[in-house]
C-alpha cells in the first residue's frame, strides 16, 4: 500500500543557503589538491627519467666473464692481463681481482674471487698491471648512516600512515547544500516533522526558554530512491548549517579501531563548525545489531558512535540525521530515545506525490500538453520511486532527441514508462506466428475479463510488444491510489490474473509457461489473504497450516474456473481483440471498446465470486 508522500527534489541556485565560508574552504582545498597533484607529477617524471637512464647504462655495459683459478695462473704466466685491480675482501686471505684480458687483438673483462697466500700475493703485486685497492672505511660508515636514515624514515612513514588511515575523505569537507524545502516536492508531512529541527537551529533560545530540547538524531526510513538524502540536504540548507555527509561504509575497515577513530574525528569537526548537520547514509552498514555481528572492528565502531551521540548536548547545535531502508537491522541501543529520538518514514509516493515529482523534474523540458501528459504518467506509475520518475523523464527526453523531435510527446513518455517498468523494447526478438498469436490471445483474455470487474481501476491500454521478460502487458489507469483493498477487490485481481491462462486453454486446448508470472502473483495474493489478512473461512495459525493451504488452493481454483467460464461467454470478443492486437500490437481502452460488442455482458465478477 502506498499511503505516503515522497521526498524528491529539483536542484536550483539558492543564494540564501550558500555561505561564503564554505566556498573559501572549497577553493583552498581545490588549490592544495592541484599543487599536490603537480608535485606528484614532477617527482614521478624525475624518477622515471632516472630509472630509464640507469636501465640504459646497465643494458649497454660490457659484461665481465668469471674465470677459474687455473685460468688466472695461466693468464699471469702468459702476461695477457692488463689494467687489473686487486681488492681484499672482508674474509682473511680472500681477494677479488678484476682485469682486462687481451687475446688475438681482442680484449674482455674478467674477474675472479679466490684465496691467495703471501707468496702468491707478492708475485701478483710485482706485476705492473696489478694495482691494489684498499676499501674506503668512510663508505661503510655512510652506508650505515644511510641505512639508519632509511629505517627511521620507514618508521615515521608508518606512524603517519596510521595517523591518516582513520581520516575519511568526506569527513574533511564541509558544505552547505543548495537544496531547500521549496525544491522538495510532495513531502509536506515529512517536512512538517523535521521543520522544528530547522527552527531550533535558527533560534535555539525560543525552545530553551520553555525547557525544550532538540532531538539529537533523526532517522529517515524508506525504500531506495524515495529522496532521503535530498531531505537531509534541505534541512541543512534551511537551517544554514554545515553539512557533513558520510556513508556507513566509510567507517568499515580491515584494521580494528579505524572506524571508531573516524567517528570521533567526524564529531570533533562538527563541534568546530556549529551549527552542523551530520548525515550518515546507509547507517545499517555501521549500526548493525551487535547480536549478529561479533567482528571486533564493527563492535568498536558502533560503540564509538553510541558514545559520540551521548557525548554532546542537542543545545550545542549538532544534529545527526541517518538514512536506511533496513531499520530492522539496526542495533536497539542506537534507536533508543536520546540518540535517534525521531523516525521519519519516507515511503513510495502516492499519485499526488508522483505528480509533484514529475512537475519538479519536468522544468526546462518541452513537453507537449504538459498537464495532461504528466497526469497520465502519474496515474500509471504506482509503486515507482522519485528516482524512477526522474529517470523516466530523462529516458523520454532521450527518445525524443533520437527522433530529432522538438518536444517530448505523450508517446515518448509512455515508451519511457514502459522501459523503466518492464525493460527496453526487444525489437530483435523474433516470435514465430503461433507464439505471437498465443501472446495476443493471452493479453486479450486479461483485457476481456478486466472489463467485467467493476472494482478494479479502469483499463488504459493493452500491448503485445515484448519488453524485458514480458511478452505483453495490460496497463491500468487508476483514478486514485488504492490504500485499502477489500476481499472482493482481491478476488477480482485473482480473476484477471487467471484470464490469460483461461484464454490459452479456450483457444488452444492447453496452457503455456507464459502464465508463470501471473500464477506467481496470484499465489502471493491468495497466501496473504489467508495467512496475513484473515480473509479465509477461519483464522489460521501454525498448527492448522494444512487447512490454510486447502483454502489457498480453493481460491486459486475458483478464480481459474470462473475465468474460463467468462472467456467461454465472451469468446467472440476475445477473438476479435486478439486479431486486432496481432494487426496493431497496441490498443487503447477506446479502441478496445470499439471492437467488442456490449451484448451479453457477464455478471460482475464480484457477484460471481461472492
Place of cell 697466500: 117
Q: Phi first, then psi: give them for residue 77, nearest 5 degrees.
A: -65, -35
Q: CB-based burial of residue 51 (10 Å sphere; 0-12 exposed, 13-18 middle, 19+ buried)? A: exposed
Q: How confident is the model at residue 136, as a pLDDT?
A: 60
Q: How confident is the model at residue 493, as a pLDDT?
A: 93
- The candidate with the shortest Cα–Cα distance to 265, out of 341, 163, 176, is 163
Which ranges constitute the DSSP H helices of 247-405? 258-272, 296-310, 332-335, 351-361, 370-379, 386-402
Q: How confident is the model at residue 167, as a pLDDT?
A: 55
Structural contact between residues 314 and 277, judged by C-beta atoms closer than 8 angstroms: no
Return the DSSP state at 284.
G
The two most distant CA atoms of the chain are separated, in Å, by: 131
SS3 state of residue 604: coil
Parallel, antiparallel or unpaired: strands 8-9 and 184-185:
antiparallel
Q: pLDDT tens digits for 488-503?
A: 999 999 999 999 999 9
CA 336 and chain centroid, separation: 28
Q: pLDDT tens digits for 377-420?
A: 988 888 888 888 989 999 999 989 998 999 999 888 988 888 88
Report the C-alpha gap between 354 and 336 in whole angstroms: 33
Secondary element (H or E) of residue 472: none
3-class SS string, 164-204: HCCCCCHHHCCECCCCCHHHEECCHHHHHHHHHHHHHHHCH
**Domains, the chain, ranges and CATH?**
8-19+170-345 (3.40.50.300), 65-135 (3.30.720), 351-422 (1.10.8.60), 433-609 (1.20.58.760)
Secondary element (H or E) of residue 211: none
Q: How confident is the model at residue 163, as a pLDDT?
A: 63
Say if pTM beats, i.e. exceeds, 0.85.
no
Catalytic annotation, residues: 443
Give me 121's grid cell: 700475493
Distances (CA, A) of 438 to 500, 537, 578: 9, 37, 9
Hey, how many other C-beta atoms are within 10 angstroms of the C-beta on 168?
Answer: 20
Q: How confident is the model at residue 23, as a pLDDT?
A: 40
Angle, helix 487-497 to helix 545-569, in steps of 10 degrees: 60
Low-confidence ranges of the chain (pLDDT < 50): 1-27, 29, 169-173, 599-610
Report the C-alpha gap between 515 and 499 in whole angstroms: 9
Q: How confident is the model at residue 37, as a pLDDT?
A: 66
Q: How confident is the model at residue 33, as a pLDDT?
A: 59
Place of cell 544534529: 319
Hey, how many other C-beta atoms are within 10 angstroms of the C-beta on 597?
Answer: 10
* Cβ within 8 Å of residue 447, ≥6 positions away: 459, 462, 474, 499, 577, 592
Q: Which residues pair with 463 in a beta bridge?
A: 473, 586
Give me 266's grid cell: 567526524
Amino acid at each position: 500500500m502506498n499511503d505516503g508522500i515522497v521526498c524528491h527534489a529539483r536542484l536550483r541556485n539558492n543564494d540564501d543557503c550558500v555561505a561564503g565560508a564554505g566556498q573559501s574552504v572549497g577553493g583552498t582545498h581545490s588549490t592544495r589538491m592541484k599543487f599536490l597533484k603537480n608535485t606528484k607529477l614532477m617527482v614521478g617524471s624525475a624518477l622515471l627519467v632516472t630509472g630509464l637512464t640507469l636501465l640504459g647504462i646497465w643494458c649497454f655495459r660490457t659484461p665481465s666473464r668469471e674465470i677459474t683459478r687455473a685460468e688466472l695462473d695461466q693468464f699471469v704466466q702468459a702476461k695477457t692481463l692488463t689494467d687489473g685491480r686487486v681488492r681484499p675482501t672482508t674474509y682473511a686471505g680472500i681477494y677479488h681481482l678484476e682485469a682486462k684480458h687481451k687475446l688475438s687483438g681482442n680484449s674482455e673483462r674478467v674477474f675472479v674471487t679466490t684465496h691467495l697466500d703471501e707468496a702468491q700475493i707478492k708475485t701478483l703485486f710485482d706485476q705492473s698491471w696489478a694495482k691494489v685497492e684498499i676499501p674506503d672505511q668512510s663508505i661503510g660508515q655512510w652506508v650505515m648512516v644511510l641505512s639508519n636514515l632509511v629505517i627511521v624514515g620507514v618508521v615515521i612513514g608508518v606512524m603517519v600512515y596510521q595517523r591518516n588511515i582513520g581520516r575519511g575523505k568526506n569527513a574533511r569537507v564541509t558544505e552547505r547544500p543548495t537544496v531547500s524545502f521549496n525544491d522538495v516536492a510532495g513531502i509536506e508531512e515529512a517536512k512538517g516533522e523535521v521543520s522544528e529541527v530547522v527552527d531550533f537551529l535558527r533560534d535555539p533560545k525560543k525552545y530553551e526558554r520553555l525547557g525544550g530540547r532538540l532531538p539529537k538524531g533523526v532517522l529517515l526510513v524508506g525504500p531506495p530512491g524515495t529522496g532521503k538524502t535530498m531531505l537531509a540536504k534541505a534541512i541543512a540548507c534551511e537551517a544554514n548549517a554545515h553539512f557533513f555527509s558520510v556513508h556507513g561504509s566509510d567507517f568499515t575497515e580491515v584494521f580494528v579501531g579505524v572506524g571508531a577513530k573516524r567517528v570521533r574525528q567526524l564529531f570533533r569537526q562538527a563541534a568546530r563548525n556549529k551549527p552542523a548537520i551530520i548525515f550518515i547514509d546507509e547507517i545499517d552498514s555501521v549500526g548493525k545489531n551487535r547480536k549478529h555481528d561479533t567482528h571486533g572492528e564493527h563492535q568498536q565502531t558502533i560503540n564509538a558512535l553510541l558514545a559520540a551521540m551521548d557525548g554532546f548536548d542537542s543545545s550545542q547545535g549538532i544534529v545527526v540525521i541517518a538514512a536506511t531502508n533496513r531499520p530492522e537491522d539496526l542495533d536497539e541501543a542506537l534507536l533508543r530515545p536520546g540518540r535517534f529520538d525521531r523516525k521519519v518514514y519516507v515511503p513510495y509516493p502516492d499519485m499526488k506525490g508522483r505528480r509533484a515529482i514529475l512537475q519538479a523534474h519536468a522544468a526546462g523540458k518541452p513537453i507537449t500538453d504538459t498537464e495532461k501528459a504528466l497526469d497520465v504518467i502519474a496515474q500509471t506509475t504506482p509503486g515507482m520511486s522519485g528516482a524512477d520518475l526522474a529517470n523516466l523523464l530523462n529516458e523520454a527526453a532521450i527518445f525524443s532527441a533520437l527522433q530529432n523531435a522538438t518536444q517530448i510527446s505523450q508517446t515518448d513518455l509512455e515508451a519511457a514508462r514502459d522501459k523503466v517498468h518492464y525493460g527496453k523494447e526487444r525489437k530483435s526478438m523474433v516470435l514465430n506466428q503461433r507464439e505471437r498469436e498465443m501472446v495476443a490471445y493471452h493479453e486479450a483474455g486479461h483485457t476481456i475479463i478486466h472489463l467485467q470487474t467493476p472494482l478494479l481501476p479502469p483499463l488504459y491500454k493493452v500491448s503485445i510488444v515484448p519488453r524485458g521478460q514480458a511478452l505483453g502487458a495490460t496497463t491500468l489507469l487508476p483514478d486514485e491510489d488504492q490504500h485499502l483493498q477489500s476481499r472482493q477487490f482481491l478476488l477480482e485481481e485473482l480473476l484477471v490474473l487467471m484470464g490469460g491462462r483461461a484464454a490459452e486453454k479456450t483457444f488452444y486446448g492447453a496452457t503455456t509457461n507464459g502464465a508463470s508470472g501471473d500464477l506467481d502473483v496470484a499465489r502471493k495474493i491468495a497466501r496473504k489473504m489467508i495467512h496475513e489478512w484473515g480473509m479465509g473461512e477461519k483464522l489460521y495459525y501454525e498448527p492448522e497450516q494444512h487447512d490454510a493451504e486447502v483454502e489457498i488452493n480453493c481460491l486459486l481454483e475458483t478464480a481459474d474456473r470462473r475465468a474460463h467460464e467468462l472467456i467461454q461467454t465472451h469468446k467472440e470478443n476475445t477473438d476479435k481483440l486478439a486479431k486486432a492486437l496481432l494487426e496493431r500490437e497496441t490498443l487503447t481502452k477506446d479502441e478496445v471498446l470499439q471492437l467488442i460488442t456490449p451484448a451479453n455482458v457477464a455478471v460482475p465478477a464480484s457477484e460471481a465470486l461472492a
